[in-house]
Amino acid sequence: MKVLKFGGTSVGTPESLANVKSIVEAIPGSAVIVVSALGGLTDKLISTARLAADDDPKFRDEMEAISSRHFNVISKVVDESKRPQAISEVARLLSELKRIFEGISLIRHLPGETLDLVVSFGERISSVIVTFMISDAVRFDSLDFIKTEEWFGKNIADQKLTSSLIRETFSTPFTKAIVPGFISTDRESGHITNLGRGGSDFTAALIAAALDAELLEIWTDVDGFMTADPRLIPEARVVGEMSFVESMELCTYGAKVIYPPTIYPVFHKNIPIKILNTFHPSAPGTLIYDTETAESFNVKGVSVLRGTSLFSIIPPEGVDRGDTGSRALNALARQGIKMYPVTAFANAGLNFAVTSDDENKALAVIRSEFAPELPENLWLSPVVKSGLSTVAVVGDNLRRQPGLGARIRNSLMRNGVTVNAFSEDMSDSTLTFMVGRDDADKALRVIHSLVVD
């Protein structure tokens, strides 16, 4: 049994949905198909909700456009014999959505809980359409079995409860099961929540892991992982195979092929992932599995995480640097902030990177953690350098290539790119280089030409 996930571009138009139908109906045996909202619809739902909250009458025009789009898709992809029932079920959901928008307009307020409810309609409606489009398909509502809990103000999957409910839900035989991705419910309140951007990937991974699937297929609009973004590096090529760790690292540092948390549930079960192109289904794609791969090049890819900030904390003489690092790391982790240790050229203190979105929160956390030392001038306040990008070089066992980091730094400097910080000893599979925002694309090109055969 396989689990397939189709993203927004894959279900965005009648033409792409026709490809989905062909792909799914060609699968022998049973499969679970996880679908996103129609391409661009989540953003449309959010913007329409905000118009309603501002009591801008344009929200009604936007609502009509949302309705028309779905009905048009139904008319193009659902067989005539099933079309009246599909229209009826979608119309019921759209009517409910319209009432919610009217309510938002009435109170001129958009609480987070209401916004979560609004955006859930994208996947709820698309999964209904796909169910009527696919032969022998049955819809299973992920609101019944994907459960979340609150953690530092964010909704995260309760994986133990979710896995149990998935196994219970899919215990009866089925041929093609259609599931809305992204959406979930709080395990305590039952309120609709979601798994965040890229959450449909995560939904598919949770189902694959719980059901011990043979394979998780992520169908998207690219032929697979590439050695770099082909829009910036025309000579970039598809990577046929890579390890779970390599794929996680590339996604963590900016590759937008799959949502990074997707990998963890299937990695622990050693369930392979295949990245495939809905618009080019004959392409071999990228296979991700738990092995050192036999690709002809050691470096699998170069990616860029845009919007990072460099933090430097310089302990006073005699203060244990290791203890400083532990305190900082633990304080940030308690607040759900991910940091990346690096080495900075400017100082020998404790240096680490965070995303720009987390910069202000991280600064407040560090100042709070070390507040007792500050009044006595025993501690220096963190120095922050903003507006940087982090370029990552990813490949299994990069440490087997001695001097690679130094060669990359020297090549960057020869090409006029200043390296503010780097990491060479933090990971066996990743080297990172923090450069100025405006130098990111140039750095990517320099590194790719140097390390990818």
Q: Left (φ > 0), alpha (ψ -120 to 50) or beta: where does 255 sit?
A: beta
Residue-level pLDDT at 379 = 56
Q: For residues 171 and 76, state if they share a domain.
A: yes
Q: For residues 50 and 141, state if they share a domain.
A: yes
Q: What is the pLDDT of residues 348-400, one digit of tens each?
A: 778 899 999 999 999 999 888 888 776 665 555 688 999 999 999 999 878 77
Residue-level pLDDT at 294 = 53
Helix 14-25 and helix 58-77: axis angle, to 10°?
40
Query: What distance in Å separates the CA atoms of residue 228 and residue 230, rounded to the nearest whole number?
Result: 6
The whole-number average pLDDT for the span 124-132 is 98
DSSP 415: T
Maximum alpha-carbon separation in the chain? 79
Is residue 63 assigned to a domain? Answer: yes
> Which CATH number belongs to the domain containing residue 9 in this structure?
3.40.1160.10
Q: What is the pLDDT of residues 234-245, one digit of tens each?
A: 999 999 999 998
Query: What distance in Å separates the CA atoms of residue 301 and residue 451, rounded to the nearest whole number?
Result: 9
- The answer to whether the Cα torsion of 429, 433, 437, 441 is positive or negative is negative
Find tokens 């845009």 and name the residue.
Answer: 306
The whole-number average pLDDT for the span 70-95 is 98
Percent of the chain with pLDDT strictly greater than 90 = 75
Q: For residues 306 and 206, state if they share a domain.
A: no
Task: Return the minimum-mean-pLDDT range out of 213-222, 366-375, 399-408, 417-426.
Answer: 366-375
Domain boundary among 220, 242, 258: 220
- Tell me which residue range forms the domain holding 332: 301-451
Query: What distance in Å separates the CA atoms of residue 420 and residue 434, rounded to the nearest whole number?
Result: 5
- Where residue 296 falls among pLDDT bands split at 50, 70, 90? very low
Domain boundary among 185, 220, 255: 220
Q: For residues 213 and 83, state if they share a domain.
A: yes
Query: What distance in Å separates the CA atoms of residue 237 and residue 257, rounded to the nearest whole number?
Result: 14
- Where residue 322 falls among pLDDT bands split at 50, 70, 90? confident
Q: What is the pLDDT of residues 3-16, one digit of tens each?
A: 999 999 999 999 99
Q: Which residues have CB under 8 Å from 388's CB, separation 6+?
A: 308, 309, 310, 353, 420, 434, 435, 436, 437
Residue-level pLDDT at 375 = 62
Q: What is the pLDDT of residues 130-139, one digit of tens each?
A: 999 999 999 9
Please check the confidence at residue 1 and state whether its pLDDT lies above 60.
yes
Is residue 367 assigned to a domain? Answer: yes
Is residue 279 assigned to a domain? Answer: no
Q: For residues 107 and 212, state if they share a domain.
A: yes
Q: Strand (E) positions, 280-319?
A: 286-289, 301-313
Please check the confidence at residue 195 and state whether its pLDDT lies above 60.
yes
Q: For residues 305 and 431, state if they share a domain.
A: yes
Query: What distance in Å separates the CA atoms of residue 357 and residue 378, rounded to the nearest whole number?
Result: 29
Is residue 284 assigned to a domain? Answer: no
Please check the confidence at residue 161 and state whether its pLDDT lies above 80.
yes
- Where residue 425 falls among pLDDT bands split at 50, 70, 90? low
Is residue 266 assigned to a domain? Answer: no
Query: What distance in Å separates the CA atoms of residue 139 and residue 141, rounded to the nearest whole number?
Result: 6
Q: For residues 58 and 176, state if they share a domain.
A: yes
Query: What distance in Å separates the CA atoms of residue 279 and residue 375, rounded to the nearest whole number?
Result: 61
- Where residue 343 falls among pLDDT bands split at 50, 70, 90? confident
Domain boundary among 176, 196, 220: 220
Q: For residues 190 and 327, state if they share a domain.
A: no
Is residue 82 assigned to a domain? Answer: yes
Is residue 33 assigned to a domain? Answer: yes
Q: For residues 145 and 38, state if they share a domain.
A: yes
- Phi, psi (deg, nearest 5) at residue 68: -60, -40
> Which CATH number belongs to the domain containing residue 385 in this structure?
3.30.2130.10
Is residue 114 assigned to a domain? Answer: yes
Find tokens 């689990």 and name the residue.
Answer: 3
Q: For residues 207 and 328, state if they share a domain.
A: no
Query: What distance in Å separates the CA atoms of residue 23 and residue 4, rounded to the nearest whole number?
Result: 10
Query: Residue 61 has which token pair?
Result: 């025009």
Q: For residues 216 and 305, state if they share a domain.
A: no
The whole-number average pLDDT for the span 200-207 is 96
The whole-number average pLDDT for the span 212-221 is 96
Number of domains in the chain: 2
